Amino acid sequence: DLLKNKTALVTGAGSGIGKSIALAYAAAGANLVLSDINEAHGQEVAQQVSGQGAQVIFVKADSASPEDNEKLVKAATEKFGALHIACNNAGIGGPALPTGGYTLDGWQKVININLNGVFYGMRYQLPAMLKAGGGVIVNMASILGSVGFRTAAAYVAAKHGVVGLTQTAALEYAPQNIRINAVGPGFIDTPLLSQMNAAQKQALVALHPIGRLGKPEEVAELVLWLSSDKASFVTGSYYPVDGGYLGQ
Ligand code: NAD
């Protein structure tokens, strides 16, 4: 019961890593505010955690919309009285193209969801957490928040941005009892990688010394720990969970 009496918000909770985080938070006793742009998937996960005994609401929200982020935090505090934990996880991969031919709309879309979405999330979560007397934010970056990757200019730029944004907000709010960290998964076997064929996935496996892709639950373990009081001295940092990818 690591998160008993805490209210935790997860964006992109309808699939992959976000879904595993929702399940981990629920198993730790939190009240859940789940959100996703995909209503059917989000509702499915909400039903699953509710079946495990968690108090949960689902709110359809587009992370790239400031208004939706504001509405989401409002729904959380109206339902549960306070917001203590937020995981800004929603994200997309975007087009795979070299920078000189990267589509302009692909760039905008990835930056809007993966970077602006994290700022909009924190923009409304932080005031709510101040009211609650403190809180914890975990932002979903990537290994590509600290190194480059061919054909992924927008994704890499957004994830580097998430790391800097995380550090800055952590400095600002550390005195007010809000801890903020970023997580950097290696390649994780989720629907995000569904555009890739078997040979492409195998090439990704080879980039991980551990010899396989990660599982969403393995990311959720780290996010759960960072979200709990066990991580009480941990703020302003970036934590890879990557099977050794960045150690090379
Ligand atoms: P996924 O595609 O399985 O899940 C992402 C979820 O986000 C989906 O349910 C989708 O509907 C939702 N979403 C997409 N756009 C949204 C929007 N505008 N507003 C709200 N929700 C939206 O992907 P995943 O692999 O679970 O990725 C989750 C996060 O982890 C992303 O930020 C991703 O960049 C990051 N990440 C993934 C990997 C990986 O290899 N899978 C590696 C490192 C980081």
Q: Is 155 a catalytic residue?
A: yes
Q: Kindly state if the Cβ of 21 falls inside 6 Å of ligand 1.
A: no
Provide the ipTM: 0.99
| Residue range 4-29, pLDDT digits in tens | 999 999 999 999 999 999 999 999 99
Q: How many helices (H) and strands (E) does the chain have?
A: 8, 7
The set of residues, in sequence order, having a beta carbon less than 8 Å from that of 69 and lying 6+ positions away, is 61, 63, 117, 120, 121, 123, 124
Q: Alpha helices, DSSP H only, in 111-146?
A: 117-132
Rounded mean pLDDT of 68-78? 98
Please pick, among 102, 120, 155, 173, the residue that the annotation labels catalytic.
155
Rounded mean pLDDT of 60-75? 98
User: Which of 5, 9, 86, 12 lies closest to 42, judged by CA?
Assistant: 12
Q: Does residue 91 fall inside a structural domain?
A: yes
Q: How far is the CA of 90 from the centre of ligand 1 (A)?
A: 5
pLDDT at 23: 98
Instruction: Let me know: does 165 contact 138? Beta carbons within 8 Å.
Output: no
Measuring from atom 33 of ligand 1, which residue has the nearest CA?
A: 91
Ligand 1 atom at minimal distance to the Cα of residue 41: 9
* Identity at 154, one-letter amino acid code: A
Q: Rounded CA gap, 45 and 48, in Å?
A: 5
- CATH number at 24 reads 3.40.50.720
177 pLDDT more than 90: yes
Q: Does residue 205 fall inside a structural domain?
A: yes
Q: Number of structural domains, the chain?
A: 1
Q: Which residues constitute the domain of residue 96?
A: 7-243
Q: Kindly state if the Cβ of 145 falls inside 6 Å of ligand 1.
A: no
Rounded mean pLDDT of 178-183? 99
| Residue range 23-46, pLDDT digits in tens | 999 999 999 999 999 999 999 999
pLDDT at 195: 84
- Neighbouring C-beta atoms of residue 237, cutoff 10 Å: 16
| Residue range 107-130, pLDDT digits in tens | 999 999 999 999 999 999 999 999
Greater model confidence, 171 or 194: 171
Q: Rounded CA gap, 177 and 18, in Å?
A: 25
User: Which of 231, 147, 138 lies closest to 187, judged by CA?
Assistant: 147
pLDDT at 43: 98
Q: Rounded CA gap, 230 and 117, in Å?
A: 27
Q: Does residue 187 fall inside a structural domain?
A: yes
Q: Does residue 248 fall inside a structural domain?
A: no
Q: Does residue 49 fall inside a structural domain?
A: yes
Verdict on whether the full-model pTM lies above 0.90: yes
| Residue range 128-154, pLDDT digits in tens | 999 999 999 999 999 999 999 999 999
Measuring from atom 32 of ligand 1, which residue has the nearest CA?
A: 91
pLDDT at 54: 94
pLDDT at 133: 98
Q: Specify the DSSP class assigned to residue 35.
A: E
Through-space distance between the first and last CA atoms of the chain, rounded to whole angstroms: 37
The set of residues, in sequence order, having a beta carbon less than 8 Å from that of 226 and lying 6+ positions away, is 136, 138, 179, 181, 183, 234, 239
Q: Does residue 1 fall inside a structural domain?
A: no
Tokens 């992924």 label which residue?
152
> How remote is the C-alpha of 192 from its chain's centroid?
13
- Banded model confidence at residue 194, pLDDT cuts 50, 70, 90: confident
Q: Does residue 2 fall inside a structural domain?
A: no
Q: Does residue 32 fall inside a structural domain?
A: yes
